[in-house]
Every structure is written in C-alpha cells, then in structure tokens.
C-alpha cells in the first residue's frame, strides 16, 4: 500500500507555513482549548464524569483517563450538521474504504501483524502482535482523525476498549484491536510497515492493497481540505 513512507503512524500533513498550515494550526489550538475546558480542573477541583468513574472501575486508570481525554477531543470536533455536504460525503467514503482495507487484509490472513511485537520492550511487547498499536492513543487519534470519525458516523459509545492490560493505544488488546475498522483512525488501516509490505509483495497482493491505501490517503486529504475551506 503506498503506505505512509514515514515511519511514524502519527505523521500528519498539517505542518508547514502555508495559509492552509496556519489555518490548521489555529484549528488545532481551538481544539486544544475546547479539550482543556472539558477535562481540566475547575476552581481547584477535578471534574470527573460518571463514565470516567465507571471506566476506572473496569480498566486500568491510565486507560480510563485516556478514554476520557479522547471523548473530550471528540466533543470538541464539529458536528455533521456544522459541515458541508461534501465533507459529509467524503467522511462516509472514508468509512467505506477503512472497511474495504480491513476486509482485504483479513481475506489474505496476513501473518506479520500477529508476531511483530514479540520480544520487544513494554508496552509494545505486552502481546506478540500489533507493534504499531503500542503508541499513545491521543497521538493516533489526532484531532483531524477524530473529526473525520465523528463526521463519518462514529459515536463515542462505539469505542469499546478491551478489558485487558493497557499497553499502548487504549483499544489494543491480546486479540488485536477492539474496534470495528470503520471506527478506527484511517492511519490504522493505511499504515503498512516494511515487514507487512514484504509479506504482501511476496504473496502478490501488494497491487490491490496499494491501490486501496492510495484511495484512502487521497480521500483523507480531500476531507481535511474540505474541513479547512
């Protein structure tokens, strides 16, 4: 897949000095303010939602608190009603492409993802597979990714984490990702490390996945432009 050439799953096209880049930076700062308002101490007291309290009973505290910050990030994004029809169409198309990509990988029964984290230090090495899911949740679920998910129809109640140790992304568990592909950030579907790329090329499946990944990348970029216009 013409996967991101960058080794980082979280690299985004938002850097730079163009007017688009400045608009993105302003939008990011606005997101940060809204998120802080939703999750920071007020008058010396820390406000914790009922959902966060429940999560703290069910999950390690680190996962519960990251989930709370992720939900705050979701609430800070524009609602579908506030976006153009074109942005809504692109977000739905992204949703379809994420599913198509996951189905293609599942049909091929790729092996690389099952053992790539074996013998790595924590948190990645907590389970044998999913090395690239060992990053920080809020870096993977960037504001732009969360905006696309909200616009495409993902609700916060669709984000159900596993009841396992917390090792990287809050949705990573011993059996892989607990989310439906439609409800994951696009980067999760289009990222292909060298090991997986090698396996796909060996099996002759690279061309199909590469085409799908390029479509995902282009649609993602079109949606980001549309949200800035």
Binding ligand SF4 by CB under 6 A: which of 11, 38, 116, 222?
116
Choose between 140 and 146: whose C-beta lies nearer to ligand SF4. Answer: 140
Choose between 86 and 195: whose C-beta lies nearer to ligand SF4. Answer: 195
Q: Does 132 bind ligand SF4 (CB under 6 A)?
A: yes
- The CA distances from residue 159 to 21, 144, 178, 206, in Å, are 30, 17, 8, 30
Q: Does 108 bind ligand SF4 (CB under 6 A)?
A: no
Binding ligand SF4 by CB under 6 A: which of 31, 63, 95, 172?
172
Smallest Cα–Cα separation from 72: which of 35, 116, 40?
35
Give residue for tokens 């649609």: 219
Choose between 24 and 132: whose C-beta lies nearer to ligand SF4. Answer: 132
Binding mask 48-77 for ligand SF4 (x = CB under 6 A): ------------------------------
Which residues contact ligand SF4 by CB under 6 A? 112-113, 116, 129-133, 140, 169, 171-172, 177, 179, 184, 188, 191-193, 195-196
């Amino acid at each position: 897949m013409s996967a991101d050439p960058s080794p980082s799953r979280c690299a985004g096209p938002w850097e730079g000095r163009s007017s688009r880049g400045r608009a993105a930076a302003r939008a990011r700062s606005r997101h940060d303010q809204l998120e802080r308002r939703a999750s920071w101490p007020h008058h010396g007291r820390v406000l914790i939602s009922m959902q966060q309290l429940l999560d703290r009973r069910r999950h390690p505290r680190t996962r519960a608190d990251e989930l709370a910050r992720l939900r705050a990030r979701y609430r800070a994004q524009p609602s579908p009603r506030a976006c153009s029809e074109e942005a809504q169409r692109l977000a739905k198309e992204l949703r379809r492409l994420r599913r198509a990509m996951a189905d293609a990988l599942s049909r091929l029964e790729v092996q690389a993802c099952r053992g790539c984290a074996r013998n790595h230090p924590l948190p990645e090495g907590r389970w044998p597979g999913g090395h690239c899911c060992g990053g920080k949740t809020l870096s993977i679920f960037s504001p732009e990714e969360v905006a696309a998910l909200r616009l495409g129809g993902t609700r916060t109640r669709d984000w159900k984490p596993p009841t396992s140790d917390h090792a990287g992304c809050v949705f990573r568990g011993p059996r892989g990702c607990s989310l439906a592909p439609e409800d994951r950030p696009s980067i999760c579907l289009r990222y292909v490390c060298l090991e997986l790329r090698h396996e796909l090329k060996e099996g002759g499946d690279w061309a199909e996945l590469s085409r799908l990944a390029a479509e995902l990348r282009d649609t993602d970029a079109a949606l980001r432009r549309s949200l800035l216009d």
